[in-house]
C-alpha cells in the first residue's frame, strides 16, 4: 500500500516537474525542487546529477527566454543539400575513435550566455563558425551574436529562430566581431553591420541526417555541428554525468553545438559532447554529455562549409629546394580579401619560431617569387599571415617540413625517378636565353618547360609530368635538354605512375 502511494506521488511529481512548465511554479522552494528531481533520477536510474544552476527555479516565461529554437519550414528544410565529407577534416581522427573532442584540440571558443533572450539559435550558429575559424584559420575569435539578431532577413529575434536565418546572413554578408556589435539581450536595435568589417563568411550550410550517429560523427570531423534539443527541468538543473533522460512528449525548443563524442560514456552507450549558451554556471562548465538520441539531440543537425581565410598551397612539405635559387610560394584567399599578406619561414618546424621574414605588405596577389636563402636545414616551414583591420586575421603553415639544401650542379634533377613533379637545377654563368625541353626516347618533343631570359644565378625549373596540351604523359623514360648561355646538358629522367 505504501509503495503504491509513493509510486503515485512520484508519478505525479514526474509529470509536473518534467513538463514544459517551470518547476518553480509547483515547488516554491528551490531545494525542494532539486530534491524532487533527485528522487526522479534515483527512481528512474538516470546517470547524471542535478543542482542549483542559473535556470533552477525560473518561471515558465523566464525559461522561454533561455531557449528559442523554432523549427524551419518543411520547404526550407527539404531544400537543403545533404552534407558530403570534403577535403577539410581533422587528419588525425576517424569516426571509429572512441572519443573525439574539439575542446582538447584547442578549437572551441569560450562558453557564452544568451541571458533573457531566446537567441540560442544565433549563439549555436556563431559558436559553430568560431570553431571552424579556430580549426582552419588558427585564430580564436569572438564574433557577434547580436549582429545575427539585428540583421537577419528572416526577422528572427529574441522570440526565437533557427540556424538558417543566421546562415543566410553569414553566407551573404558574413560575420562581424563582438566588439563592433556587442550583445544586448535585446532585439530592439537597428542593424549596424554597415559600420563593421565582415571578418568571416561561409560557403554553404548542408544538413546532416537526423539521429544518424555515423553521419553526425563524419560531419563533426570537419568541425562542430549545430543541433536542436528538448529542454526540461532535469536539463535546466543538469550539473554533470551522462544526461540520459529522454523527453519525447514535446518538440525541440533549444539549439546547442555538438563539439565531440564519447562512445565510452553512458555505460558504453555513447554520448555527444555539447556546448550550451547558458554560461559556465550550468552543467560541466557550460558543457554536457548527453546520450545519443535522447531528448531530440541529433535532430535538425547542420554543418557549415567554411573556406580558410588564407591557405598556403606551396611549399606544403616533403620537397627539397635549393639555396640561392628562386621558388614560387603560393597561397589562396578564397573569401574576404585581406588588407595585406606577409611571409616568413622557420628552421624549427611548426614549433618555430617563424622569425625569418620573407616579405610583408603584399596586396592583391596570391604568389611570391622567393629567393631561397643559402642555408641547409631539413626542418623548414613557411607561414603565410593575412592581416585585416590592422590585426592578424589568420595564418597557415606548410603541412609538413621541407628541406633547403646547398645548390649543386651534381644534383641536377630531383626526385628521379618521380611521380608528380621533378625539379631541374641549373646555373646561368652569363645573362641570356634559357630553354629546357622534355623529349621522349624517340627524340620527339613532349613539352618545353622553360623558355625565358635569365640573369646570372642558380635556378630551378619543374616538369609536372604532362605533355604540351596538358594531358598526362605516359610512364617511362624521358630526357631533358638544357640549353643556356655557355651550358648544354642532357639527362635521363624516369616518370612513374
Q: Catalytic positions, please?
A: 120, 254, 276
Within 8 A by CB and 6+ apart from 357, the residues are 342, 343, 344
User: Helix, strand or coil for residue 245?
Assistant: coil
Which triple of cell numbers denotes residue 448?
618545353
User: Helix, strand or coil for residue 405?
Assistant: strand
**C-alpha torsion 82→85→88→89, nearest 10:** 120
Cα angle at 478 between 474 and 479, to 5 degrees? 155
C-alpha 494/C-alpha 491 separation (Å) is: 10
Q: Which of 293, 306, 205 is nearest to 244 (CA)?
A: 293
β-bridge pairing 287-291 and 238-243: parallel
Helix (H) or strand (E) holding 122: helix 120-137
C-alpha 347/C-alpha 405 separation (Å) is: 12
C-alpha 196/C-alpha 407 separation (Å) is: 50
Residue in the structure block whose three cell numbers are 593575412 = 386
C-alpha 236/C-alpha 230 separation (Å) is: 10
Which triple of cell numbers denotes residue 457?
644565378
Q: Measure Cα distances from 71 to 80, 252, 254, 299, 472 in Å.
A: 14, 8, 10, 10, 51
Burial of 19 (0-12, 13-18, 19+ CB in 10 A): middle
C-alpha 487/C-alpha 481 separation (Å) is: 10
Please, which residues bridge with residue 48 across strands?
Answer: 241
C-alpha 420/C-alpha 59 separation (Å) is: 66
C-alpha 417/C-alpha 424 separation (Å) is: 12
| Residue 36 DSSP one-character state | H
Amino acid at each position: 500500500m505504501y509503495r503504491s502511494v509513493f509510486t503515485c506521488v512520484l508519478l505525479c511529481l514526474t509529470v509536473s516537474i518534467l513538463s514544459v512548465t517551470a518547476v518553480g511554479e509547483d515547488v516554491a522552494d528551490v531545494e525542494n525542487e532539486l530534491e524532487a528531481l533527485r528522487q526522479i533520477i534515483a527512481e528512474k536510474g538516470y546517470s547524471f546529477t542535478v543542482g542549483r544552476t542559473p535556470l533552477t527555479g525560473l518561471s515558465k516565461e523566464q525559461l522561454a527566454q533561455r531557449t528559442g529554437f523554432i523549427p524551419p519550414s518543411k520547404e526550407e528544410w527539404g531544400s537543403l543539400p545533404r552534407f558530403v565529407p570534403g577535403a577539410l577534416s581533422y587528419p588525425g581522427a576517424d569516426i571509429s575513435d572512441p572519443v573525439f573532442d574539439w575542446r582538447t584540440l584547442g578549437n572551441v571558443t569560450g562558453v557564452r550566455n544568451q541571458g533573457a533572450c531566446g537567441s540560442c539559435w544565433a549563439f549555436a550558429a556563431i559558436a559553430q563558425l568560431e570553431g571552424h575559424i579556430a580549426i582552419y584559420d588558427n585564430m580564436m575569435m569572438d564574433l557577434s551574436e547580436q549582429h545575427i539578431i539585428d540583421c537577419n532577413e528572416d526577422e528572427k529575434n529574441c522570440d526565437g529562430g533557427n540556424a538558417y536565418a543566421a546562415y543566410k546572413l553569414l553566407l551573404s554578408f558574413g560575420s562581424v566581431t563582438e566588439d563592433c556589435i556587442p550583445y544586448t539581450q535585446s532585439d530592439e536595435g537597428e542593424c549596424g553591420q554597415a559600420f563593421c568589417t565582415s571578418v568571416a563568411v561561409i560557403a554553404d550550410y548542408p544538413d546532416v541526417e537526423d539521429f544518424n550517429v555515423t553521419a553526425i560523427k563524419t560531419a563533426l570531423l570537419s568541425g562542430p555541428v549545430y543541433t536542436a534539443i528538448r529542454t526540461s527541468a532535469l536539463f535546466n538543473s543538469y550539473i554533470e554525468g551522462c544526461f540520459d533522460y529522454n523527453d519525447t512528449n514535446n518538440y525541440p525548443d533549444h539549439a546547442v553545438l555538438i563539439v565531440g563524442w564519447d562512445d565510452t560514456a553512458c555505460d558504453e552507450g555513447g554520448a555527444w559532447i555539447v556546448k550550451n549558451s547558458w554560461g559556465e554556471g550550468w552543467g560541466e562548465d557550460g558543457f554536457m554529455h548527453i546520450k545519443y538520441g535522447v531528448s531530440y539531440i541529433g535532430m535538425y543537425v547542420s554543418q557549415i562549409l567554411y573556406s580558410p581565410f588564407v591557405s598556403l598551397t606551396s611549399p606544403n612539405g616533403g620537397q627539397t629546394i635549393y639555396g640561392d635559387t628562386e621558388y614560387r610560394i603560393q597561397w589562396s584567399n578564397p573569401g574576404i580579401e585581406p588588407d595585406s599578406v606577409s611571409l616568413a619561414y622557420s628552421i624549427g618546424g611548426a614549433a618555430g619560431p617563424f622569425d625569418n621574414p620573407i616579405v610583408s605588405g603584399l596586396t592583391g596577389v596570391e604568389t611570391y617569387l622567393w629567393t631561397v636563402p643559402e642555408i641547409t636545414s631539413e626542418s623548414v616551414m613557411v607561414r603565410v599571415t593575412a592581416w585585416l583591420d590592422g590585426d592578424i586575421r589568420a595564418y597557415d603553415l606548410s603541412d609538413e617540413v621541407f628541406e633547403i639544401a646547398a645548390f649543386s650542379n651534381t644534383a641536377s634533377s630531383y626526385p628521379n625517378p618521380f611521380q608528380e613533379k621533378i625539379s631541374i637545377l641549373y646555373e646561368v654563368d652569363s645573362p641570356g636565353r634559357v630553354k629546357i625541353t622534355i623529349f621522349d626516347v624517340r627524340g620527339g618533343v613532349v613539352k618545353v618547360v622553360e623558355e625565358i631570359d635569365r640573369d646570372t644565378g642558380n635556378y630551378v625549373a619543374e616538369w609536372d609530368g604532362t605533355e604540351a596540351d596538358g594531358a598526362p604523359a605516359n610512364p617511362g623514360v624521358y630526357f631533358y635538354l638544357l640549353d643556356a648561355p655557355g651550358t648544354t646538358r642532357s639527362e635521363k629522367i624516369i616518370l612513374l605512375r
